[in-house]
Structure formats: structure tokens, C-alpha cells
Amino acid sequence: MAPVQNVPFVSILLCMVCALLCAVLPGKAARFLARAVPGLICLGNLALTFAFRDLEPFHYPMGHFPAPWGNELRAGPLEAVCSAALALTAFLSLNAGMRKVRQQIPERKQNLFCVVTLMTLCAVCALLYTNDLFTGYVFIEISTLSAAALIFSRQDDRSLAASLRYLVMNLTGSGLCLMGISMLYGITGQLNMESIRQSLAAAEGPPSLPLRAVMVLLTVGLSIKCGLFPFHEWLPDAYAYSTPASSALLSSVVSKGYLFLLIKFYMRCVGLEAVRASGLATALSSLAGLGLLIGSLHAIRQWDLRRMISYSSVAQISFVFLAVGLCTPEAMTAAVFHMLVHAFGKSMLFLSASGLSDVSGGRFDADSLQGAGKRHFAAGAAFTLGAVSMTGVPLLGGFLSKIYLSQAAIATSGPLSAAVLLLLALSTFLNTLYFLHAVVGIYRPGPLETPPRRATGAGYLVSLCLMMAVNLYLGTASASLYSTLLRGISLFA
């Protein structure tokens, strides 16, 4: 076994061990560790991605027993690329947001904040790499708990209330997932994804009623946790009122773990054919289409910039579900590509919004933010770039993911493909409305007396610049990334 094949296991273990260390180390060391570990994981997974050029996907046994009895990880190009990208987002978000963390989070809680960031990353890595559904469930819960802690780490009224709503909704989602996994275990007698697939493949014909129930339970459970319309009510408060680093992690890293598990469940456990035959794909597409429009319409109505970005997340998550609902390998690739675009774009938007508010007296409403883009050049540029990417302007990531989804939709040729194209056009129009409004707002001539400017720090500026670079890379030079994703998806099933 090549040494690089230990990367998946080491990533998960490193997060766990360093999370424990963060609880006992002095504050400064803990903050350093919380920022360094995501960087290391990103580098390791990048090495694994390049190794996959001549390496086949492999299984990594955990413990003494072989697969159907023991637990195991599964790694392929898709998992490696996604973990590298998500770890990079976490690395950049934490480096950009750490100064704010020190300002907003009580001193004695800062170590615990570092613990939960690392546990979040650990859960996401495990969700990406696990080959066992019940392990998936355990890490879903770990991810939920640490995300709740990320939200209430600020300890003010609104973030506490937001995390309560988050927990209630997300625990109903986990309950549905657990029931679904238990029922699937009852049907197949297996928890390993490949064994489930083999056991289900033995039964001919369209999916049976219990299997349909399992698919609905898992789909609804995971889409509650991602914030798909109509289960999105918890999302805006949770994203908007936590500290910027938390918002960035929640919107770009946490939700992607659940999405990836859902794609894995569809492709590796039940198969795309069964998803289409059960009618679930159509239901998912319809909900996603509605969510795409309603999320954008809500975003237009918001006066708080953070809430606007959060509602835009609702629309973007629906975009991913729309692609998943098409149920073809190309559409799945488009979904994963958009997950990465959204991860880098949304974290950049949340962090640049915090920079803009710093030069506007700490406020987030349109009036106070007037002229903020001129007062803080880097944050203004990053916000503009992120907004433009989300609306889908060429040379940026959002444009390419729309192109990929349209191509996948046209290839399916049916009434659904026309509906998807129409929805894309409508959502682009709505995105332009609210993002353009915000971008014009921050460059409008501001008040004559500028509010006192707070220092943002070198880490913030460097991270924002790197995020802008990654967004440009996704839009201009990502052909090899796309082909890696496509290869990963084809090796997935």
C-alpha cells in the first residue's frame, strides 16, 4: 500500500486528536492548530488527488475484520478532490475570520470554538470517505452537534435562539435518517454500501415499497439538514447571526458533507435507476425548482446583508438538488462542481460582508453600507467577485456550473430539461436583481463622515485574495478539475 493511501484515515484522525489538544492547549496554540490542521488536510488530499492519476479507487479497512463485518473507508478521485477543496475553504475561512472570533467570542470559550471547528472538519471528512451507512449516521450527528456549537459560540441572544431552531430541525432530520438506515438494514441485512448495492441488485423490477420508504426517509432527512425548500426556515438565522468564520464554515463545509452523503447513497447504495423509477427524482427536482425561486425572492426582500447571503444559500442549495434530481452521471458531476463553486463563493461572501460592516460601524443594512466598498477595497472587491460569480458571469465558477447543468439537462431530453433551462434563466435574473442591488449599494457615494475603521489584519486580506484567486481558477482553468470529477463519478457507481 502506497503511503499516500493513508491520507483519508489520517485526515479524520488528525482532526480528532488536534480537536482534543485544542481543549487543553493555551489559547494562542489552539488557534494556531485550528488554522493549521485544515491546511495540512488540504495538502494531503491534494497529494492523494494527484496520486489517483495512476491509482485505482481503494478500500481502507478499519480494525481487524474485512469489509461486510468490519468498518471501512473508500477513497476515489471524487472524495479526494472534495475533501481537498472543503479543507481549503475551511483553512481560508478560519484564517480570515480568526480576528473576528477573538473579538466576538468570550475569551474562555475560544478554545472550545477551535475544538468544534476541527470536529466539524473531521465529520465532513468522515462523511466524504466512509463506506458504511451507520458510520455515516454517527458522523451526521457529530457534524450537527459541532455545527450547533459553531452557531452559539457567540453566546448572544440571537445566536442562541438560532442554534436552538437549528438543532430542533436538524435532529428531526437525523431521526429520519436513522430510521431510514435501520429499515434499509432490515431489508438488506447490510450496512456496507457495496454489500447493500449487491443485495438490492438481486431483486428484479422497480424498487419495492419498503425501499421507496427508505429512500424518502433518507432524502427528506438529509435535505432538512441541507436546508432545501420547504425545510429552510432554520437556515437564515443560523447563518446570519453567528461569527463570520462560523457562517462561512456552515454554509460552505457542513452542508456539503450531507449533500455528498446523499449523492453517495443514490449512486452507491440504491443506484440512479431506482431513484428515477421511484419518482423521487421528479419530486426532488420540483422542490428544488421552487426553492431556487423562493430563496431568491426572499433574498430580494432582506435589508440585512448577511440574511440576503443566507437566503441566496437556500437558492444555491436548491441548484445542487436540481442537478441531483436529473439523476445522470453528468448532472451529478455538475452538482458536485457547483458544490465546490458554492463553497468557495459563499464563504468569500460572508467574510467580505464582515469586512464591509467593519468599515460601516458594524452594521449590515444598505444605508450604513453605502460606500463601504470604497472604504475597504479588498472586501469590496471580494464581495463583488463573489456576487458576480453567484449570478453566473463568464470567467467565474458560477457560470461554468450553470453551463454544466444546462448541458446535463439538455442531454436528458424531456419535459424536465426544458423546465430546468427555464428555471436557470429565471434564477439568473433574480440573482442579478439582488446581488446587483447590493454591489451598487456598496459603491454608492457614502456619508461624508466615515465611521472609524477597525483593523482587519493581514490574515484576512491574504485569505480574501486567495479566495478570489480560487474563484477565478474555478471559472477559467478548471477543465482538469471537471474531468477529475467526471472520472470520480464514473468510478463511483
Q: Please give the grid coordinates belonging to residue 180.
A: 431510514
The torsion defined by the Cα of 154, 157, 159 and 161, in degrees rounded to 10, comes to 150
- C-beta of 97: minimal distance to another protein in Å? 21
Q: Does 362 bind another protein (CB under 8 A)?
A: no
Q: Does 165 bind another protein (CB under 8 A)?
A: yes
H or E, element range at 95: helix 77-104
Q: Does 61 bind another protein (CB under 8 A)?
A: no
CA 178, CA 425: separation in Å to the nearest integer? 38
CA 418, CA 130: separation in Å to the nearest integer? 36
Q: Does 394 bind another protein (CB under 8 A)?
A: no
When binding is defined by CB under 8 A, the residue of 5, 6, 172, 286 that contacts another protein is: 172
Q: Does 216 bind another protein (CB under 8 A)?
A: no
Interface size with another protein, residues (CB under 8 A): 31
Cell 463545509 appears where?
253
- C-beta of 176: minimal distance to another protein in Å? 8
Q: Does 212 bind another protein (CB under 8 A)?
A: no
Burial profile 313-340: b = 16 or more Cβ within 10 angstroms, e = fewer: bbbbbbbbbbbbbbbbebbbbbbbbbbb
CA 87, CA 122: separation in Å to the nearest integer? 10
Using the rule CB under 8 A, give the single segment among 49-57, 98-106, 108-116, 177-185 that binds another protein.
177-185
Are the CB atoms for 291 and 321 separated by under 8 Å?
yes
Residues 105-164 that bind another protein (CB under 8 A): 134, 137-138, 141, 144-145, 148-149, 152, 157-158, 160-164
Nearer CB in complex with another protein: 141/194:
141
Q: Does 214 bind another protein (CB under 8 A)?
A: no
Nearer CB in complex with another protein: 144/370:
144
Nearer CB in complex with another protein: 148/200:
148
Q: Binding mask 75-104 vs another protein (x if CB under 8 A, - otherwise)? A: ------------------------------
Using the rule CB under 8 A, give the single segment among 40-48, 91-99, 172-180, 475-483 that binds another protein.
172-180
When binding is defined by CB under 8 A, the residue of 14, 191, 292, 305 that contacts another protein is: 191
Cell 477543496 appears where?
85
Give the DSSP per-residue string, 437-485.
Answer: HHHHHHHS---SSPPPPPP--HHHHHHHHHHHHHHHHHHHS-HHHHHHH
Q: Among 391, 243, 256, which residue's Cα sits nearest to residue 317?
A: 256
When binding is defined by CB under 8 A, the residue of 13, 17, 24, 168 that contacts another protein is: 168
3-class DSSP state of 400: helix
- C-beta of 171: minimal distance to another protein in Å? 6
Alpha helical stretches, state H, 359-414: 372-375, 377-391, 397-412
CA 121, CA 470: separation in Å to the nearest integer? 20
Q: Does 282 bind another protein (CB under 8 A)?
A: no
- C-beta of 148: minimal distance to another protein in Å? 7
Instruction: Say which residues have a Cβ less than 8 Å from residue 68's Cβ, sequence separation at least 6.
Output: 190, 192, 195
Q: Binding mask 16-35 vs another protein (x if CB under 8 A, - otherwise)? A: --------------------
Backbone angles phi, psi at 361, to 5 degrees: 70, 25
Nearer CB in complex with another protein: 206/210:
210
- C-beta of 208: minimal distance to another protein in Å? 15
Nearer CB in complex with another protein: 158/454:
158
Q: Among 476, 441, 280, 266, which residue's Cα sits nearest to residue 366?
A: 441
H or E, element range at 49: helix 27-51
- C-beta of 75: minimal distance to another protein in Å? 23
| Residues at the site binding another protein, with contacts judged by CB under 8 A | 134, 137-138, 141, 144-145, 148-149, 152, 157-158, 160-165, 167-168, 171-172, 174-176, 178-179, 182-183, 185-186, 191
